[in-house]
Amino acid sequence: MATASRWHDPPRLRTLEDDEAAERRATWLELFFDLVFVVAVAQLADGLAGDPSLHGFLVFAGLFVPVWWAWVGYTFYADRFDTDDPPHRVLMITGMFAVGALASVIPSAFDGETRSFAIAYAFVRAITVVLNARAWWHLPAARPLLNVYIPAFSVSVALFLVSVAVEPPARYWLWAVALAVDLGTPLASRDRIRQVPIHASHIPERVGLLTIIVFGESVLAVVVGTSTVSWGLESGAAAALGFAVAAALWWIYFDYVDSSIVRRTITAGQIYLYAHLPLLVGLAALGAGIKLAIKATESEGLTDEVSWIIGGGVALFMASVAVIHLATTRSRRDVDLWLRLGTAALALGLGAMGAELGIVPMLAILTAALAGQIVLELAGHEEHARAAGIDLG
């Protein structure tokens, strides 16, 4: 075992060595690292805004998965093993550069040139493998988990590199297999994760910070949308209502999504994490839809495509929140669960009818529905929390 110095502080299993009762906060390096994902999410949303068709949404969602998983890989490594020594910093900053490269080729991926994206993602994940290999070298206690993670993630990297030599659609099938290996490995490693656990206070904070980044895309959408149109009654109303929808979703997420389920069981924690993938996809799509809706006030009005992006984005978000709530309460009879599913169903209905309703009426109905849900949850939250055994203090 290497000894610590100012130049080299070897990884340690922080989730077992740290005081379990102590709250752990994100480091300055982690916050710096998140900045590059601001760019990646903006690029993804811009790509969807440029092609708001079903094909464009599928490309957007397909590219969102590896971007999200890149963030997950670095975040969970740092949660378990971070010592913030110079080698760790150099590898994380190199990872930032790799994610920046990944973000830079997202526009070309929307245009069908996906070789660069495959190479960039392989680069991003290869650094994650190196980080885990460093932990494997220094921490025998972590090897039961890393003996699975390192080979599996290496296979994913190899498949993405091989896909460069293969033409579509076979290339995308290789991507699907590689991402199934990436996302499926933790799900198949629950017994090993018990030996190398996560930090129950750190991970919810990190997931919340990524969610704030994606919320920022909705705020940016209002600013960008209004900067490209002349202020008028309809454009102003669309901007105000679009912002209100985003604010209502923020309120629901940060007041009523219970992150304490991460502490309960590994399965509950994984539901919490994986449910955030569709949640963030929906939230980013909503940002693109709001921008397009504001711009549409000066042109053809709300189209079917933009209506579906807005309604579908809210529906994905609320359905994901409902899944997390079901994992929290473990009761299908909980009122909040059905409120959230009902809002998701309403959003889908508005997605189907929005073009006929118009921009402002559609956003007004969404805002009213979300505001009504907040009021109902404010009225009933304490009662539901007591029934679920959740500490509100």
pLDDT tens profile 112-156? 999 999 999 999 999 999 999 999 999 999 999 999 999 999 999
CA separation for the pair 111, 101 (Å, rounded)? 17
How far, in Å, are 35, 92, 97, 122 from residue 32 at the CA level? 6, 10, 12, 22
CA separation for the pair 357, 284 (Å, rounded)? 23
Residue 2 lies in a domain: no
Beta strands in the chain (DSSP E): none
The pLDDT tens digits of the residues spanning 149-175 come to 999 999 999 999 999 999 999 999 999
Among 168, 195, 222, identify where a domain stops. 195
Residue 302 lies in a domain: yes
Indicate if the alpha-carbon torsion angle 126, 127, 132, 133 is positive or negative: positive
Residue 71 lies in a domain: yes
- What pLDDT shows up at residue 20? 58
- What pLDDT shows up at residue 6? 67
- What pLDDT shows up at residue 393? 32
Domain count along the chain: 2
CB 273 within 8 A of CB 249: no
Q: Pick the more confident residue, 222 or 74.
A: 74
Q: Report which of 81, 87, 69 is spatially closest to residue 13, judged by C-alpha positions.
A: 81
Residue 135 lies in a domain: yes
CB 33 within 8 A of CB 212: no
- What pLDDT shows up at residue 257? 87
46 and 134 co-located in one domain? yes
How far, in Å, are 52, 57, 113, 117, 299 from residue 110 at the CA level? 12, 10, 7, 10, 25
Among 173, 195, 217, identify where a domain stops. 195
The pLDDT tens digits of the residues spanning 266-283 come to 999 999 999 999 999 999
Residue 104 lies in a domain: yes
The pLDDT tens digits of the residues spanning 171-226 come to 999 999 999 999 999 999 999 999 998 888 889 999 999 999 999 888 888 887 77
239 and 357 co-located in one domain? yes
What is the Cβ-side half-sphere exposure of residue 282, based on CA atoms within 13 angstroms?
A: 23
Residue 298 lies in a domain: yes
43 and 158 co-located in one domain? yes
CA separation for the pair 224, 287 (Å, rounded)? 10
Indicate if the alpha-carbon torsion angle 113, 117, 119, 120 is positive or negative: positive
264 and 223 co-located in one domain? yes
Q: What is the DSSP code (8-state) at residue 22?
A: S
181 and 217 co-located in one domain? no
pTM: 0.92
140 and 39 co-located in one domain? yes
Among 141, 166, 195, identify where a domain stops. 195
215 and 304 co-located in one domain? yes
Q: Report which of 274, 275, 278, 304 is spatially closest to residue 289, judged by C-alpha positions.
A: 304
pLDDT at 387 over 60: no
Domain that holds residue 153: 14-195
134 and 216 co-located in one domain? no
Structure token pair of residue 194: 């018990």
Structure token pair of residue 154: 């290496």
285 and 165 co-located in one domain? no
Mark residue 112 as left, alpha or beta (left: phi above 0; alpha: psi -120 to 50; beta: remaining).
left
92 and 150 co-located in one domain? yes
210 and 144 co-located in one domain? no
Residue 9 lies in a domain: no
Q: Report which of 48, 74, 52, 73 is spatially closest to residue 63, judged by C-alpha positions.
A: 48
pLDDT at 246 over 70: yes
Residue 4 lies in a domain: no
254 and 153 co-located in one domain? no
